[in-house]
Amino acid sequence: MASWKDIKGIYLIERINIKESDKEPVYYVGQSIGIFNRWRQHCDGNEQNIDKEIKRFGFTNFSFLILEVVSKTKELNERETYWINESKKKGEIKMFNISQTTNTNQNLIASSIKEEIKTLFENEIGRSIYAISEKYKINFLDVVNIRKPLLKKQGLKYDSKSKNIVDEEGQLPVNWQGDRLTQILGETILKLKGQDIETKDVAYECNISIADLKKFISEYENSRCYDYAKSIN
């Protein structure tokens, strides 16, 4: 039987003790492969808007509710979208999710963000996709899709055998950091692996491809060190 720490599903964070004149957001719907651990991360974190609001108002002014337990990780996006839409019926202005771009199944990526990412790659095509997804709180696959046409312009392509980006001669480009993880992401992965969570669930939770996750774990375990990509301020 799975531990209560391993419960996958959808949760609701609601701001309570609200005055009638209060016009600020109230609800946040999220997903996790470890719901109770995610609540702690929200209380301790400072990345998402909801994290900052919990710090601002104090965690005692928020309630935490499991909306649905999900058995399969691949079902999380679909069920999260369902519950976000249900919560929107209370009024979109009351949703913390609407002002965030943390999950692409929740929000369209603003064109201005796409242009910023495109410019980052035009200036340095070998940038880490994970540093960019970390900065803008979007899915790494969306970063990959923004980068794809720019790779072709520079004579680069994805090699399915090596699972790397290579040049016309099949070599890894000089100073390539495309699949390198940031230290924040690496430390999060190591913490989850220490909890004996399945690789596919770690990849999902950390917003990383399974191939890059396995490469990171192998490199780290073999040498106990890793050449992290720099986070983007």
Domain boundary among 71, 99, 127: 99
Count up the domains in the chain and report the number.
2
> How confident is the model over 17-51, as pLDDT tens digits?
888 777 788 889 988 888 888 888 888 876 677 88
Maximum separation of any 2 CA atoms in the chain, in Å: 66
Q: What is the extent of the structural domain holding 210?
A: 108-233
5 touches 195 (CB < 8 A): yes
- 119 and 75 in a common domain: no
CATH of the domain at 20: 3.40.1440.10
- 124 and 163 in a common domain: yes
- 90 and 112 in a common domain: no
CATH of the domain at 199: 1.10.10.10
pLDDT surpasses 80 at 104: no
> How confident is the model over 122-178, as pLDDT tens digits?
999 999 999 999 888 888 988 999 999 999 888 998 888 887 898 888 888 888 999
pLDDT surpasses 50 at 101: no
CA 63 to each of CA 14, 17, 225: distance values in angstroms, whole numbers, following the listed order? 5, 10, 40
Residue 68 — very low, low, confident or very high, per pLDDT cuts 50/70/90?
Answer: very high
- 77 and 125 in a common domain: no
Please state at what angle helix 183-193 crosses helix 210-223, rounded to 10 degrees: 80
Residue 108 — very low, low, confident or very high, per pLDDT cuts 50/70/90?
Answer: low
- 71 and 172 in a common domain: no
- 214 and 140 in a common domain: yes
- 185 and 129 in a common domain: yes
- 180 and 91 in a common domain: no
- 94 and 113 in a common domain: no
pLDDT surpasses 80 at 109: no
Residue 91 Rama label (left phi>0; alpha psi -120 to 50; beta): left
- 81 and 125 in a common domain: no
Alpha helices in the chain (DSSP H): 35-44, 49-57, 76-88, 111-123, 129-136, 140-153, 183-193, 199-206, 210-223
Query: How is residue 166 written in tokens?
Result: 């290579």
Domain boundary among 44, 78, 99: 99
Give dist(CA 54, CA 15) in Å, integer: 9
Q: Provide mean pLDDT across the span 64-85.
A: 88
Residue 105 — very low, low, confident or very high, per pLDDT cuts 50/70/90?
Answer: very low
- 228 and 136 in a common domain: yes
Domain boundary among 70, 99, 128: 99
- 67 and 158 in a common domain: no
The top-scoring range by mean pLDDT among 87-91, 97-101, 141-145, 223-227 is 141-145
